[in-house]
Amino acid sequence: MNLLEKEQLINEKADEFEHSSPEEVIRWAIETFPNITFACSFGAEDVVLVDMIQKISPSTDVFYLDTDFHFKETYETRDKMVEKYGMDFVRVSPKITPEEQAEEFGDALWTVDPNQCCNIRKVEPLTRILTEYDAWITGIRRDQAPTRANSRKVEYDVKFGLVKFNPIASWSTEDVWDYIRTNDVIYNPLHDQNYPSIGCEYCTRQVMPGEDARAGRWAGSEKTECGLHK
């Protein structure tokens, strides 16, 4: 399938998928693009999608970006999911260790230049792993942030040069938690401690009442995205 054919198919399916369930989107995605992967950050949206993918196609690759700076609760959530599903997550690491990063860029780079830190520990590793696939699945939802408001359930990812599926793009936060409760899905316990959006430990804080759900990410800076999606 050439690029033009892909774009035509994507546009047709994007309209059709608007009224489809996440499971229908995932099933079509995997059948149409067998060389597909799911990027898991172990947040509420992503554990839902892991559960769906395990029920539909347990052999589908699921990877995570190990920045070396995740909360211990995030790693514990990963381990519990491995035990429950009997699966292996593909671990994708930055090219340099935290120690090498500190030596080259100074201590606590995330406080001086968070974009550079994200590029080193997230964007470059993601770019590297996605070159191995034809399509990827994400947990993006439109109401997470203004930058995600126009996300479609399938689109062509110009930045990484492959097809991108966002099966729960139209879901609300309550839809996510309804699925978690109904299906007894393992989730990161930090969600119960006012962490609606969970990233690296150094760049994530609790969200106070009345704040936006992503206010805890890169607090005190104008940064709103790590660069993986926008």
Q: Which sequence positions are flagged as catalytic?
A: 226
SS3 string, 157-212, reads: ECCCCEEEECCCCCCCHHHHHHHHHHHCCCCCHHHHHCCCCCCEHHHECCCCCCCC
Quote the tokens at residue 181: 């409760």
* Cβ within 8 Å of residue 180, ≥6 positions away: 44, 47, 48, 187
- CA–CA dist 202, 174 (Å, integer): 27
CB 162 within 8 A of CB 135: yes
- Give which of 34, 124, 40, 133 is closest to 89, Cα–Cα: 40
Residue type, 129: I
